[in-house]
Each structure stands twice: as C-alpha cells, then as structure tokens.
A and B are shown apart, each in its own frame.
Chain A
Amino acid sequence: MSHTQRIVEPVIVAVVISNLIGHLRRTLLTITAIAAGLASLIFLWGFNDGLHRNMLSNFQDAIIGSIQIHRQGFFEHPRLSLYLSAPERVIEALETARLPHWSRRLETFALATSEKTTEGVMLIGMEAEREAQVTQLAQRIGNGRFLQAGDDYSLILGATTAKNLRVDLGDPIVIVGYDRFGALVAEEFTLVGIITSGEMGLDRGMALTSLRALQEMLDMSGQITGIVLRVADDRLDEIAESLSLKLAELDLEVMPWSEMFPVVQEWITLHNGFLYLFVGIVLFIVIAGELNTLWLSMLERTRDFGILMAIGTARRQIGLMLLLEAALLGVIGSLLGILLGIGVILLTNQTGIDLSVLLGSTSRFYVDPVIHPQLNLDHLGMTVISILSASLLAGIYPAWRAVKLQPVEAIRNG
C-alpha cells in the first residue's frame, strides 16, 4: 500500500492544480491578497530599515562616531584627570587592526562667555584634518566654516548656543574652564562657524575647537581624553569586542554608540516592535483571508471530497490536497509579493521618499527628510517565512475537517 501511496502523489498535485485553475478568480484573489500583504510588509520593513539606517548613520556622523575609546569611567564622569595615558598604543592597535578612520579628541566642560551672557558648553578639541574620517560635522556648518588645519583659537558653536550668547561670526568668545588639577583657565576664541543641524544635541551646548588649541589652553600638550572611530555598522560589535580584548591591559573603555546612547538602540527596538505588531496584524489578516478561501473551497467541495473518498482516495490524500492548495497559494503569492516588495524598495531606494512635509527641521532626530528604503535580508527572510507559515497554517483547519468527512454524508450533504 505504501508503494501505491507514494506514487499516486502526482495525481493529488494534478487535482489541486486543476482545482486552482478551475476556480481561477478565487485563486487569483487569494494570491493577490497574499502578494499584496507580503509586498506591503517587505516595503514597510524596507522603509523602516532605511529610516533606521539613515538615523543611525546621521547619529554617528553628527559627533559621536561608531566607537569611542576612553579611560575607564570617563564616559560616565568626563574629567580631564581621566585622560588617555598611552594614546600611541591605542592608535597602534587601530592601525594593526586596519581601522584607519579615527580621530583624537580632548573633551571638557566649560563656560562660554560673550559680551552679553554666559552659557555652559561641552568643549571638544578635535583634529580638523582627521575629523572628516569619523563624522560629518563639517557638513553641518550652516554659517561660516569648519575647523581647518593650523587654526589657533577658532571656535564653532551650535546655532542655539550662538543665539543665546548673541554672537555672530568673528565675535570673540571667552572660554572659562578648569584644568586637570582644578585650576581655573580661560582663553579667548574667535567664532568661525555655527552648526545648524536641527538636532538639539548639536545646536545647543556644543563648542568645538582645534585639539592643539585646547591642549594649550589646558596645558595638556599631546594629551587626549578619547579616540573616536568610524566603522561599518555590520562590523561594529565585532570590532568593539576585538578592541576591548586587545586593549584590556590599558584599563580603557571601548564603547560602541549603542552602549553610549542605549536610548537610540532602545528606540529602534521599540520602533521595530511596533512593526512586528503590524506584521502580526497583517499575518492575521492573511491567515483569515486564506482560511476563508480554503474553508469556502472545502465547503464547496465537500461533495467532491466525498466522491474522491468513495472512489478510492485516502483521507490522508484529501488532507494533503487542501494543504498543498494552501502551500501553492502561499508560495505563488509570496513569490509575487517578494518581487513586488523588492521592486518597490529598489525603486524608492533610487528615488527616495520625501517626508519633508512631515518632518519639521527641529524635530527630525537625525532623520533626513528624504528616506531611502533599504533591503534587509534578515527582515525579508523573516517576513517571507511568516507569510508562508501563515498560509500553511490557514490550510490546516480545512484540511483537518476534510479528513474527518464521511464519504456518504459528504456526498449526501455536500
């Protein structure tokens, strides 16, 4: 009997295909519903991933980079006494690891004083010539210019800070701070650029100057408090872990951006969570739609199933027919959905989706007004598998009910 059962499966496939073609409108409607559901999900994931990628890229490009290396505890309590004791060894490790995109920084809190008022700022001394390798700060200058090699006491302020201090390009600004021993130090700087980013974190409370000028002011020649790196997103964790191991003996903290600002990662996780919820809702709709189709199809064909059983079709084969039907609808719908979804992503990736109407300049949170959807294979795979599973799941109940049919009753009542 098993031999017979094995070789008769093609006839089951033939009946299923005949049935799908025989009820073409219903078949096309179901396939279209699955394809549209899947394409929508793929596109939504693409949009979501494009938005997150854009946001993360902008977030890292703004000022923090991908990874920062400090003395242990500096990020939590940024004191000058926690300067990097052997920066050359860190740089050597970076060079060995073929990580060329790094820049040194010296950071401290200070007061910026104009002729009119005073404002607290995070004062960052940075290498003008290397900064472009780790951030896109230079692109954020809305007025004036970015730092240049050879700058002395040039200063860049965020737009809000400059506005609060009521200063403009060329105005003198006195920076007052403490050196690493707690002694008061002060120096006059000239405002050469104003950052107009739209992000509150940059536009307010940030003051940038050249590393050399700040080292002179703080009497910390050759000293830095940290090194900023830019690495590819997909290698971030691996590189951070590898550097931690390499630099373990130097008592340093190697912090990827997600560790420094977990709220950003949490926001993305939350945002993805909403999308998972949405995926669930769409899956429910797909299951309900396909279940409805298959259930109606089963009810319509109750008599047929009775006949098929009467003339020698096994119950297992009847169940298989409905499962196969569900699987075929799912596979064909999914293939079309994948093509459609990826097609829309590729198209919108090129053209971009302009959301400038929705995003005010002050509430963008590192998101560009034009989003370029991205294809994330993990999300694509998960979504396709979910839809396929949902399609199969939708076939289980009708198949189970069909298997339970009694031939005579099915023929009589079908």
Chain B
Amino acid sequence: MDTTITQSIISVRDLSKCYWIGKVPFPALNRVNLEIYDNDFTVLAGRSGSGKSTLLNIVGALESADTGEVVVDNQNILQMSADQRTQFRLQTIGFVFQAYNLIQVLTAQENVAYVCRLQGKSKLESLEIAAHWLDAVGLGELGSRRPNQLSGGQQQRVAVARALATNPKIVLADEPTANLDTVTAQKLVCLLQKLHDDFNTTFLISSHDPDVKNASSRLIKLSDGHVIKRWDEALPPADPTQLSCPIKNLSLSQRLRRLFEGNPAQ
C-alpha cells in the first residue's frame, strides 16, 4: 500500500451545516476543516449523529452546506448548479450506501451497467464493463439476478461494482458494513481494501465498524459535527489476519474467489 502523501483531492474549509426541524436547529457540521489525499483509504469515524454521513453527502455533492468551501478534484462543488453536481457525481464519485441502494427492477449487471450508460457508453460496452466489475467483486455468475435474489453481502458487492464501474476518482462509502453480519462485513472490508490497492482509487468511508477503521490508511474522528482527532500520518497497514483476509498476495480474482468461497450467500 502506497501511503505517501501525494496531493489533496478533497479539501474542506470551515464547513458548517445545520438541519432544522421546525424552528429547532440541529447542527450537523461545525467549521470542519480537513484534507483527503489522493489514493488514500480514509475512514471517517464517530458515533451516530457525529456528522459523518452529512460530510460524505456534502463531499459527494448530494447536499448543500450552510457555509464553507469544499474543493473536490479541483472543483468547488458548493458553487455548482444542480446539473453540474449531477455530472460531477457521475464522472468523479462512486457511491456505496449503507442500504446497498440498488434499483430493484434491474438485474445486478444492469445496475452496474446503468452508470456506464449514463456516461454515454454503448449498451454493449456498458454490459461488458459491468460484467468485468461483477467478476472483480466475485459475482461474475450472478449478473442476471435481481437484487431481491441476492443476499445483503452480494447486494453490497454489486453496489461496490457499480461505484467503481465509472472509473471514479473517489469512492464514498457511507457505513457500507452496517447492514451486514460480522463475517460478511469483514470480507467486504477486505474487498474494498483490495480494490483500493489494485486500482489506486481514493476511498473515503464513514464507519464506526472497528474492522473498517483497522483497514484505513488514515482515520478522522468526528464528534458532534467537529473533527476531534485526525491521524494525518498514514496508519500502518492493517493486519490481514484480523480481517480474515490472508490472501493479499494472490491475484484479485483469485483473492475474491477465495474470499467468498464456500459461502456464496455472503
């Protein structure tokens, strides 16, 4: 894992966001400042309500902020129009959500191919890319299944394939393991880590899952909308044995097959 600080790909300055329920304010982020570096595997940690998801949503151009500045891949996203934000999400960001968020009427392959087609690729090319990424996450055989025919772990792997299929610069994952059992969650973390290693994509993951935190190269801890701890120096590589992931030296597809072997439902 290359832990050298290269350059900042996400720069957050004095970011504040407050939600209102009626006349009652609920501050979510309060003057947050942070940098995320290119190719890092950064985890945003913190309790529920600490502001992790809000920060991810703002960085992913899904939500606006009250004040501050967010520069992602040299683009000031808070000044973008709705259409520009849509294009930004499509071209720059890959999302992995807690609840998988696949389109139920589309097959796994169609779910992944959909984003490629949004990017203007042909149907055939999109399906090929989707097949490649489904293979990369170990679901090459299940492309024709709809989400309701897949387990939670499989659905989340489809979501990971979808997030990477557009070749994004950044993958944002919001509590990706929260809906999974411990073993499946560990395997998913391994998968994310391997994909990060192999494809040199920046990962920013919000999670309070210890396995996810252990896998991170940088950790930022939020509490009540503030950054309370920051490990700006790269963390030591995660111990693969702790992640039930003793497969680091195999090829990606070999590792994935091994990773999910014997328990395809995960």
Enumerate chain A interface residues (CB-CB to B < 8 A): 1, 3-4, 7-8, 10-11, 14-15, 18-19, 21-23, 303-304, 307-315, 406-408, 411
- In the bound assembly, the distance between CA atoms of A304 and B63 in angstroms comes to 17
Chain B, Cβ-Cβ closest to A16: B105
- In the bound assembly, the distance between CA atoms of A304 and B97 in angstroms comes to 13
Chain A residues whose CB sits within 8 angstroms of the CB of B82 once the complex forms: 315
Pairwise interchain contact B105-A23, C-beta atoms closer than 8 A = yes
Indicate whether A313 sits within 8 Å of B83 (C-beta atoms), given known contacts A18-B110, A22-B105, A307-B103: no
Pairwise interchain contact A310-B95, C-beta atoms closer than 8 A = yes
Chain A residues whose CB sits within 8 angstroms of the CB of B119 once the complex forms: 4, 8, 312
- Most chain A CB within 10 A, of B62, B105, B115, B123, is at B105
Pairwise interchain contact B105-A8, C-beta atoms closer than 8 A = no
B106 CB within 8 Å of chain A: yes
Chain A, Cβ-Cβ closest to B123: A10
- In the bound assembly, the distance between CA atoms of A15 and B114 in angstroms comes to 9
- In the bound assembly, the distance between CA atoms of A307 and B95 in angstroms comes to 10
**Closest CB in chain B relative to A144 CB, distance in Å:** 76
| CB < 8 Å neighbour of B117 from A11, A22, A406, A411 | A11
Chain A, Cβ-Cβ closest to B64: A406
**Closest CB in chain A relative to B8 CB, distance in Å:** 24
Chain A residues whose CB sits within 8 angstroms of the CB of B196 once the complex forms: none
Chain B, Cβ-Cβ closest to A20: B105
Chain B, interface size: which category? Answer: 20 to 34
Chain B residues whose CB sits within 8 angstroms of the CB of A10 once the complex forms: 117, 123
- In the bound assembly, the distance between CA atoms of A14 and B118 in angstroms comes to 12
Chain A residues whose CB sits within 8 angstroms of the CB of B110 once the complex forms: 14, 18
Chain A, Cβ-Cβ closest to B84: A1
- In the bound assembly, the distance between CA atoms of A359 and B196 in angstroms comes to 84
- In the bound assembly, the distance between CA atoms of A19 and B114 in angstroms comes to 14
**Closest CB in chain A relative to B140 CB, distance in Å:** 22
Pairwise interchain contact B89-A311, C-beta atoms closer than 8 A = yes
B166 CB within 8 Å of chain A: yes
- Most chain A CB within 10 A, of B83, B97, B103, is at B103
Chain A residues whose CB sits within 8 angstroms of the CB of B87 once the complex forms: 1, 4, 312
**Closest CB in chain B relative to A128 CB, distance in Å:** 76
Chain B residues whose CB sits within 8 angstroms of the CB of A18 once the complex forms: 103, 105-106, 110
Chain A residues whose CB sits within 8 angstroms of the CB of B106 once the complex forms: 15, 18
Chain B residues whose CB sits within 8 angstroms of the CB of A406 once the complex forms: 63
Pairwise interchain contact B86-A15, C-beta atoms closer than 8 A = no
**Closest CB in chain A relative to B77 CB, distance in Å:** 14
Chain A residues whose CB sits within 8 angstroms of the CB of B62 once the complex forms: 310, 407-408
Chain B residues whose CB sits within 8 angstroms of the CB of A11 once the complex forms: 114, 117-118, 123
Pairwise interchain contact A304-B104, C-beta atoms closer than 8 A = yes
- Can you list 22 residue pairs at the A/B interface with Cβ under 8 Å? A11-B114, A14-B110, A15-B103, A15-B105, A15-B114, A19-B105, A22-B104, A23-B105, A304-B103, A307-B97, A308-B103, A310-B62, A310-B95, A311-B89, A311-B114, A311-B115, A311-B118, A311-B162, A312-B89, A314-B83, A315-B83, A408-B63
- In the bound assembly, the distance between CA atoms of A401 and B186 in angstroms comes to 40
- In the bound assembly, the distance between CA atoms of A18 and B105 in angstroms comes to 6
Enumerate chain B interface residues (CB-CB to A < 8 A): 57, 60, 62-63, 82-83, 86-87, 89-91, 95, 97, 101-106, 110, 114-115, 117-120, 123, 162, 166
Chain B residues whose CB sits within 8 angstroms of the CB of A304 once the complex forms: 103-104
Pairwise interchain contact B89-A310, C-beta atoms closer than 8 A = yes
Pairwise interchain contact A312-B105, C-beta atoms closer than 8 A = no
Chain B, Cβ-Cβ closest to A23: B105
Pairwise interchain contact B118-A312, C-beta atoms closer than 8 A = yes
**Closest CB in chain A relative to B174 CB, distance in Å:** 10
Pairwise interchain contact B103-A313, C-beta atoms closer than 8 A = no
Contacts A8-B120, A304-B103, A315-B86 supplied; 15 other A-B pairs, CB < 8 Å: A10-B123, A11-B114, A11-B123, A18-B110, A22-B104, A304-B104, A307-B102, A311-B90, A311-B115, A312-B91, A312-B115, A312-B166, A315-B82, A315-B83, A406-B63
- In the bound assembly, the distance between CA atoms of A196 and B58 in angstroms comes to 88
Chain B, Cβ-Cβ closest to A409: B63
- In the bound assembly, the distance between CA atoms of A11 and B120 in angstroms comes to 9
- In the bound assembly, the distance between CA atoms of A406 and B104 in angstroms comes to 20
- In the bound assembly, the distance between CA atoms of A18 and B102 in angstroms comes to 14
- In the bound assembly, the distance between CA atoms of A30 and B103 in angstroms comes to 22
Chain B residues whose CB sits within 8 angstroms of the CB of A21 once the complex forms: 105
Pairwise interchain contact A8-B117, C-beta atoms closer than 8 A = yes
**Closest CB in chain B relative to A307 CB, distance in Å:** 4
- In the bound assembly, the distance between CA atoms of A231 and B103 in angstroms comes to 64
**Closest CB in chain B relative to A147 CB, distance in Å:** 76
**Closest CB in chain A relative to B172 CB, distance in Å:** 10
Chain A residues whose CB sits within 8 angstroms of the CB of B97 once the complex forms: 307, 310, 411
Pairwise interchain contact B101-A411, C-beta atoms closer than 8 A = yes
Chain A residues whose CB sits within 8 angstroms of the CB of B114 once the complex forms: 11, 15, 311
**Closest CB in chain B relative to A294 CB, distance in Å:** 15
Chain B, Cβ-Cβ closest to A17: B105
